[in-house]
Amino acid sequence: MSAESLTCAAGTGRTTASSITDVTEVTPTLPDDHNELISDLCGIVSDYPHGSPSATLGLLADDAADALDRIGTPQGRRERTGYTILLHTTCWYVAARVFSKSLFASYTQALEGLRATLDPASCTCPAGAHPTDVDGEYGVEAGVSMLSEAGRAVFAEEYELEGEELAAFDCEAFLAGLADGAAARMREAHKELFGGVDVSHLDVRFLRDDGGIDIVALQEAIRRSWEDNTGPVALWSARRWLAGQVRDEERIGLFLSLWMGIAQTYGGLPPSYARDLVAALDTIGPDASCEHPQHPWSATTHVQSRYEAVVHLYAPEDYPDTPVPVELSARELWECPAHYAELARGAREVVQQWRHMRGGEEDDW
């Protein structure tokens, strides 16, 4: 198969040698803007977007919605097929990578609009005739190709599709299945990204029998990076902090667990988390100053040394090693308001980077 010749090969280093056949034949070609669309969307579905993925996807959803006005025409039906496939193929990216309510709304609206024009009962396809795995770069190629007559010709040639196989892409039951699946995924993701996250089930893991906070347990959870605990630990810590359910001696440990949960979530956390994290950080006055030349956290440089510093602070006998030198280890230095202010400032900057990286309006956060 030589589908790469359509499109996605540019920049991916893949060979396109197989497509250079029968050069003497006049082959149908895609419009330039469709080639560009394939290239942009392939970058997005491969998780290596160029340009602004949220702008590209917003435009895609708008174009899909516009196509609804033409649904009574043959061209409108071609577009319905193409856009339904494209929204299906790209929705995972919107759900997982872009924290933007307006983009969610555009996708949901377009999907619902398309779905309303589809009648699954009209399917007369033989069993197993519906296209499968219209995902990833193939899904992008299929979707964009379906938008135009010329694109369909290119696609049919590339994948050696016969008339019926090509026609199955237009089947309303097939398309309705894609639209329903994508809409369900968007609904689920909307809850996760913008709704409320319940972390109360973590109380049993992070509270000791006497009601105190088990700082070492929080640190161990963060340390198990393969479990993706940073977000839940940060949120649990933030809620505890905001509720004032923290003893004096636990404060710095809880705050550092919040800090590490933020700083060590490299892909960013969605607004459903960030709201309470920022609220907790905002309880710290930004302007505290002191005479100390340095604070203990400045002695930590990486993930492992942060962990060692905190567990040593709370269980020095079990964890004798710490990167914090004796001259920086006084409790008064740990608890210095300027130390908290430094930590809060750094964590706020990280959250700000998430917003920048994940998009979305200020209100979404």
CB 216 within 8 A of CB 315: yes
First to last CA, the chain: 45
103 or 118: CB nearest Zn ion: 118
| C-alpha to C-alpha distance for 148 and 265, rounded to whole angstroms | 42
Q: How far is the CB of 332 from Zn ion (least distance, A)?
A: 8
Q: Is 207 in the site for Zn ion (CB under 5 A)?
A: no
d(CA 187, CA 163): 35
Calpha distance 192→344 (Å, rounded): 25
43 burial (CB, 10 Å; 0-12 / 13-18 / 19+) is buried
Using CB under 5 A as the binding rule, whether residue 71 contacts Zn ion is answered as no
- Least distance to Zn ion from the beta carbon of 85, Å? 14
Q: Nearer Cβ to Zn ion, position 134 or 351?
A: 134
Residue 270 carries which DSSP code? -
Residues 6 or more apart whose Cβ sits within 8 Å of residue 361: 100, 101, 102
Q: Does 173 bind Zn ion (CB under 5 A)?
A: yes
Interaction pattern, residues 111-140, with Zn ion; x per rule: CB under 5 A: ------------x-x---------------
- Which part of the chain contacts Zn ion (CB under 5 A), choosing from 237-245, 274-282, 286-294, 299-307? 286-294
Task: In angstroms, give the least distance from the CB of 169 to Zn ion.
Answer: 10
Q: Kindly report the CA angle at 215 between 211 and 217, in degrees rounded to 5?
A: 95
347 touches Zn ion by CB under 5 A: no
Six token digits for residue 121:
């009962």
**Binding piece for Zn ion, criterion CB under 5 A, among 23-31, 172-180, 250-258, 278-286:** 172-180
CB 4 within 8 A of CB 15: yes
Question: Which single residue is written with the structure tokens 């089947």?
Answer: 171
Would you say 95 or 324 has its CB closer to Zn ion? Answer: 324
**How far, in Å, CA of 159 to CA of 150, rounded?**
14
How near is the Cβ of 263 to Zn ion at its closest, in Å?
20
For tokens 């803007």, name the residue.
33
Task: Quote the CA–CA distance of 343 and 256 in Å, as a whole number.
Answer: 8
For the CB of residue 242, give the shortest distance to Zn ion in the complex, in Å. 24
Q: Does 336 bind Zn ion (CB under 5 A)?
A: yes
Residue 20, phi-psi category: left (phi > 0), alpha (psi -120 to 50), beta (remainder): beta
Binding flags for Zn ion, 142-171, as an x/- string (CB under 5 A): -----------------------------x
Q: Does 10 bind Zn ion (CB under 5 A)?
A: no
C-beta of 93: minimal distance to Zn ion in Å? Answer: 27
Q: Per the structure block, which two tokens stand in for 63? A: 């174009």
Residue 299, interface with Zn ion (CB under 5 A)? Answer: no
| Residue 290 interacts with Zn ion (CB under 5 A): yes or no | yes
Task: Rank residues 110 and 171 by Cβ distance to Zn ion and give the closer one.
Answer: 171
> Residues binding Zn ion: what is the number (CB under 5 A)?
8
**H or E segment at 185?**
helix 172-194
From the CB of 152, what's the least distance to Zn ion, in Å? 17
Among 10, 156, 299, 338, binds Zn ion (CB under 5 A): 338
| 292 contacts Zn ion (rule: CB under 5 A) | yes
Residue 72: CB minimum distance to Zn ion, A: 21
Give whichever of 103 and 328 is closer to Zn ion, judged by the CB atom. 328
Q: How far is CA 20 from the centre of its chain?
A: 37
Residue 311 backbone phi and psi in degrees, to 5: -65, -30
Interface residue list for Zn ion (CB under 5 A): 123, 125, 171, 173, 290, 292, 336, 338
